[in-house]
Structure 1
Amino acid sequence: MAENQLTVQLLLSGLFFIAAIGIDLYKEKIPNILSLLAIFSGFAINSFYAQLAGLLMAFLGLALAFVVLFPTFLIRVLGAGDIKLMMGIGTLMGPELLFSSLLYGIVAGVGTTVLLTLWKTGVHGIKKTIIRYWQCFYLRSYFKPDPDEAAGQKVPYAPALALGWLCACALDQNVINLYQLWHQHLLMGVT
């Protein structure tokens, strides 16, 4: 029974991340409906498979995502769509896997931000930002970034959050055990 629950959780989380990445890269926004579907799915699936304990786990995942990520919204590091998406993932996967996902997502965010910024502005945009930062420092005055420089870009964070989730899943013992179970079933079906 636990294998079925984890399978559904992983499949739905993966689908929500795929949709979020596509929309975030194209529109630079994650729609509320996607996050709400993830949240409602998490409550429904976890309460179906684990009744009250599943409902509590889903609520804790949602609450942890909000408590950890809301300050990043206040200082304009993450957008509201990223936070709501992770609230949905937290509701689906629970607080333990969510916390690991967020830690790995921060690390992945450094790489994806650099790559997406390079893709949008090229080396010229990064060079222009470095020069502007030097001028701000030297002249002791802030200059707003130009739209064609790296600091002036809005970078979608859903890819980094998805990579963080993938890393957390790859290192989670329950997911590893599920993969081994799938592998055994596949081998038995082949032979």
Structure 2
Amino acid sequence: MADYQLLLQVVIAGVFFILAIVVDLTREKIPNWLCLFAIFCGFLVNGYFAHLSGLMISFIGFSLAFIILFPTFIFKILGAGDIKLMMGIGALMGPQLLAWSIAYGIIAGAVTSILLIIWKSGFSGCIKTFKRYWDCFYLRTYFKPEEGEAAGQRVPYAPALAIGWVWACSLNQDITHLYTSVSHSLFS
């Protein structure tokens, strides 16, 4: 029974991440309906399989995502959609996998953000940004980013969060065991 629950959780979370990535890359916003549906599915799946303890795990994962990520919204590091999406993932997968997903998502975000900024603004936009930073430092005055500059680009963070989740899943012993069992039964 636990394997079915974990399989369902991983598949549902994967679907939510795929949808979030597509929407975030095209519209630069993760819709509320997607986040709310992820939260609802998390409580539903855990409540169905593990009853009251499952609901508690969902609540802790949901709350932990909010507690960890809300400061990033205040400082305008992440958007509200990213936080609500991870609240849904926390409700679905629980607090432990959520915490590792966020940690690995931060690492992945360093790489994906740089790549997406270079893709959006090109190397010339990066050079403009470095020049502006030098001018700000040297003249001790702040200058706003110009049009086409790398620093003025918005970076969708759903891809980094998804990479962090996949990374956390790949290191989770229960999920790797499930993957081995499912692939063995399908391909044997």
Query: Does the pair score TM above 0.5?
Result: yes
Q: Aligned runs of 1:1-191 on 2, under 5 Å? A: 1-187=1-187, 190=188
Deviations 1:46-66 (A, max 9, x none): 000000111000000000000
TM-superposed deviation, 1:181: 1.4
Q: Which runs of 4+ in 1 moved over 2 A?
A: none
Deviations 1:24-76 (A, max 9, x none): 00000000000000000000000000001110000000000000000000011
TM-superposed deviation, 1:186: 2.4
Confirm or deny: 8 A CA contact 1:108 1:160 kept in the other structure: yes
| AA in 2 matched with 1:121 | S
TM-superposed deviation, 1:177: 1.1
TM-score (norm 1): 0.97
Q: Extract unaligned runs of 5+ from structure 2.
A: none
TM-score (norm 2): 0.98
Specify the SS of the correspondent of 1:142.
coil
CA distance in 2, matches of 1:183, 1:106: 30
| AA in 1 matched with 2:123 | V
CA distance in 1, matches of 2:147, 2:88: 32
| AA in 2 matched with 1:77 | I
| AA in 2 matched with 1:169 | C
Count of residue correspondences: 188
CA distance in 1, matches of 2:125, 2:65: 33
CA distance in 2, matches of 1:11, 1:183: 14
CA distance in 1, matches of 2:146, 2:44: 46
Confirm or deny: 8 A CA contact 1:129 1:149 kept in the other structure: yes
Moved more, 138-147 or 62-71: 138-147
| AA in 1 matched with 2:45 | I
Confirm or deny: 8 A CA contact 1:61 1:98 kept in the other structure: yes
TM-superposed deviation, 1:185: 1.6
Deviations 1:148-184 (A, max 9, x none): 0110000000000000000000000110110121133
CA distance in 2, matches of 1:56, 1:92: 11
Q: Extract unaligned runs of 5+ from structure 1.
A: none
